[in-house]
């Protein structure tokens, strides 16, 4: 079985996804909320933050999630085609002309405009209502209605239309991952009032939700009927500053590995890679790695002093990262084929997603998202290889 799976890709650079970690991260959050009856939406947009949407969705459902969140309709359709039957919400904008398609596949969409609803009504059949979640902008300045009167009008319209099922009301926080909670608090209070207004109109909405990972982990007493769990279901902290405030330990699910394609000793004064920007200062052991910027391993990894792990030791990138390959300086001769860890644990050392994000002056969210589809994903459950996904054959 294993050797058959191993044949599904033909390069020595891969991502390891620990499905058990995803399952446990979701279960920990589920446990935190289960007495309150608050449900967990697993956010698997952007191919599950680069981990694999379908695989991450399945692991999250085992861990207790009951709802899935994606960014675009195509992502929801992919999950349906693969056999996922649980509720799915599209968090971004869907075209009103695609309302019937979404309804037929039981995919809920985000709405924030009366014009949109009226247009969608023209394509919807009354025997197949479209589930909608009304998005309110309480301070993110992205999608959503701002004006309270407009929110009331739109709510009443959805409530009274036979074409729509008023399934959810939600908002999104801009600063829930920061220590300072004043802005978050304002958004929360505003949202609470909005949900109260709907109640006063006698409109009951089954899913009222505002918390992302940061808010869900930090403020469990402030959740409504659902929380949207994204980055932390993958075992990553929403920000470095709130890492110490998290209620349980998160287990990272993503590791990026490659192997030494060639090892050679270069004498002093030899240049490495395009532009010949690195020149050996003495006899140096140089390793060539079969990963480059086309795999999402962008050039700044070498210019910003990046390192990898080999036999538990750090080794720096030298010279520019190429499209498909890059070079490292080894402390000693190593065997070709030796495993090199770019993200993950090697013996007692590790390079975390946060380390890599800091190196690139960005956030951990961005790193797994940009590791391209050319890098096969190997899925492990309880330490055993369960499946391989290599989309490019």
43 vs 255, which CB is nearer to ligand PLP? 43
Q: Which residue has the tokens 């929380």?
A: 227
Residues that bind ligand PLP (CB under 6 A): 43, 45, 91, 172, 212-214, 228-231, 238
Report the C-alpha gap between 155 and 153 in whole angstroms. 5
50 vs 376, which CB is nearer to ligand PLP? 50
CB of 114 to ligand PLP, least distance (A): 21
Q: Which two tokens stand for residue 266?
A: 């270069």
Single out the residue of 215, 219, 224 nearest to residue 193, CA to CA. Answer: 224
Report the C-alpha gap between 37 and 268 in whole angstroms. 66
CB of 246 to ligand PLP, least distance (A): 12
Residue numbers in the known binding site for substrate are 142, 323
Q: Which two tokens stand for residue 95?
A: 């075209």
70 vs 260, which CB is nearer to ligand PLP? 70
Residue nearest to ligand PLP (CB): 230
Cα–Cα distances (Å) from 129 to 58, 121, 126, 156, 202, in that order, read 26, 9, 6, 16, 20
CB of 8 to ligand PLP, least distance (A): 29
Please pick, among 45, 135, 257, 334, the residue that the annotation labels catalytic: 45
**Known catalytic residue at 274:** yes
Report the C-alpha gap between 171 and 187 in whole angstroms. 9
CB of 211 to ligand PLP, least distance (A): 8
Q: What angle do CA 266, 268, 272 make, to 5 degrees?
A: 55
CB of 163 to ligand PLP, least distance (A): 24
Whether residue 41 contacts residue 67, with contact meaning beta carbons closer than 8 Å, is answered with: yes
**DSSP calls for 104-118:** HTTEEEEE--HHHHH
214 vs 327, which CB is nearer to ligand PLP? 214
Residues paired with residue 107 on neighbouring β-strands, in sequence order: 88
Single out the residue of 70, 21, 13, 43 nearest to residue 378, CA to CA. Answer: 13
CB of 44 to ligand PLP, least distance (A): 10
144 vs 376, which CB is nearer to ligand PLP? 144
Work out the end-to-end distance of the chain between its first and last CA atoms, rounded to an integer number of angstroms.
Answer: 20
Please pick, among 34, 36, 243, 274, the residue that the annotation labels catalytic: 274
Burial letters 172-211, b for 16+ CB under 10 A, else e: bbbbbbbeeeeebeebbebbeebbeebeeeebebebbbbb
224 vs 278, which CB is nearer to ligand PLP? 224
Residue numbers in the known binding site are 142, 323
Q: Is 392 exposed, middle or buried (0-12, 13-18, 19+ CB in 10 A)?
A: exposed
Catalytic residues: 45, 274
């Amino acid at each position: 079985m294993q050797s058959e799976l191993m044949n599904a890709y033909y390069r020595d650079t891969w991502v390891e996804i620990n499905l058990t970690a995803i399952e446990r991260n979701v279960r920990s959050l589920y446990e935190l909320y289960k007495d309150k009856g608050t449900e967990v939406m697993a956010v698997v947009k952007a191919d599950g933050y680069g981990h694999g949407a379908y695989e991450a969705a399945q692991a999250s459902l085992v861990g207790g999630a009951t709802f899935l969140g994606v960014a675009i309709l195509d992502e929801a359709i992919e999950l349906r085609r693969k056999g996922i039957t649980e509720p799915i919400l599209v968090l971004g904008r869907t075209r009103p002309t695609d309302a019937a398609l979404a309804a037929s596949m039981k995919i809920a969409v985000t709405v924030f405009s009366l014009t949109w609803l009226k247009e969608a009504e023209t394509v919807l059949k009354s025997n197949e209502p479209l589930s909608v979640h009304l998005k309110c902008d309480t301070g993110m300045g992205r999608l959503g209605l701002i004006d309270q009167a407009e929110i009331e009008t739109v709510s009443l319209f959805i409530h009274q239309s036979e074409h729509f099922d008023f399934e959810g009301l939600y908002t999104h926080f801009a600063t829930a991952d920061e220590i300072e909670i004043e802005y978050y608090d304002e958004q929360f209070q505003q949202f609470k009032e909005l949900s109260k207004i709907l109640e006063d109109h006698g409109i009951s909405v089954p899913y009222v939700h505002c918390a992302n990972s940061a808010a869900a982990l930090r403020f469990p007493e402030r959740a409504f009927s659902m929380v949207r769990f994204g980055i932390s279901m993958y075992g990553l902290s929403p920000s470095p500053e709130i890492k110490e405030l998290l209620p349980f330990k998160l287990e990272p699910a993503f590791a990026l590995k490659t192997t030494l394609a060639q090892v050679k000793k270069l004498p002093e004064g030899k240049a490495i890679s395009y532009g010949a920007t690195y020149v050996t200062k003495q006899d140096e052991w140089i390793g060539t790695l079969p990963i480059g910027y086309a795999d999402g391993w962008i050039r700044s990894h070498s210019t910003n002093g990046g390192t990898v792990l080999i036999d538990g030791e750090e080794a720096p990138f030298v010279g520019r990262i190429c499209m498909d390959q890059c070079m490292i300086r080894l402390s000693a001769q190593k065997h070709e084929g030796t495993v090199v860890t770019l993200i993950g644990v090697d013996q007692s050392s590790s390079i975390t997603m946060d380390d890599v994000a800091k190196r690139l002056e960005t956030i951990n969210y961005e790193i797994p998202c940009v590791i391209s589809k050319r890098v096969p994903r190997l899925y492990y459950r309880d330490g055993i290889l369960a499946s391989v996904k290599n989309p490019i054959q």
